[in-house]
Amino acid sequence: MDVDLLVVPGGNCIKDIKVCPECDHGNGSYRALGEKLNIELIGKITPTPIRMNVSGCGCRCAMAMLQDIGLVAGLEGYAIYIGGTPYSKSIIAEKIIGPLTDEEVFIAIKAILCLYKSERGD
Ligand code: SF4
């Protein structure tokens, strides 16, 4: 069995994007989407460290509700949540948009990151 190990980049950037394992409950191509997000976004410089997760269904085992940006796959597409945190005081993220297609997810994530950067003034 081949196992890939990913070294999470340090500093203010997008960290590894955690994705649910292969699961019968998962909707759509959530694993492929998570892989594409990792390839495209990991290590990108951001004002603060950004953590993202992709959950394959509403059970949210990948803790999408406790990340800076969380995606939850549903029958109609992906919902995006922002503002959660797993550290110190846990906060549940709020849904801001969805359902989205795979392509729309990329557009939305880039817009969120762009807005975050400009609002921070960094
Ligand atoms: S969130 Fe859904 S798809 Fe992901 S591991 Fe849990 S049950 Fe499976």
Q: Which CATH number fits domain 17-120: 3.40.50.150, 3.40.50.1100, 3.30.300.20, 3.30.413.10?
A: 3.30.413.10
Ligand 1: which of 17, 22, 25 to mutate, judged by most atoms within 8 Å of the beta carbon? 25
For the chain, the structural domain boundaries read 17-120
Q: How far apart are CA 78 and CA 70, in angstroms?
A: 10
pLDDT at 122: 65
pLDDT at 44: 94
pLDDT at 14: 95
Pick the range with the lowest mean pLDDT from 29-38, 48-57, 90-99, 113-122: 113-122
pLDDT digits (tens, 9 = 90+) for 86-101: 777 888 999 999 999 9
Nearest ligand 1 atom to alpha carbon 26: 3
pLDDT band (50, 70, 90) for residue 1: low
What mean pLDDT comes out for the span 100-116?
96
Whether 55 has a pLDDT exceeding 90, the answer reads: yes
Ligand 1 centroid – CA 22 distance (Å): 8
pLDDT at 65: 87
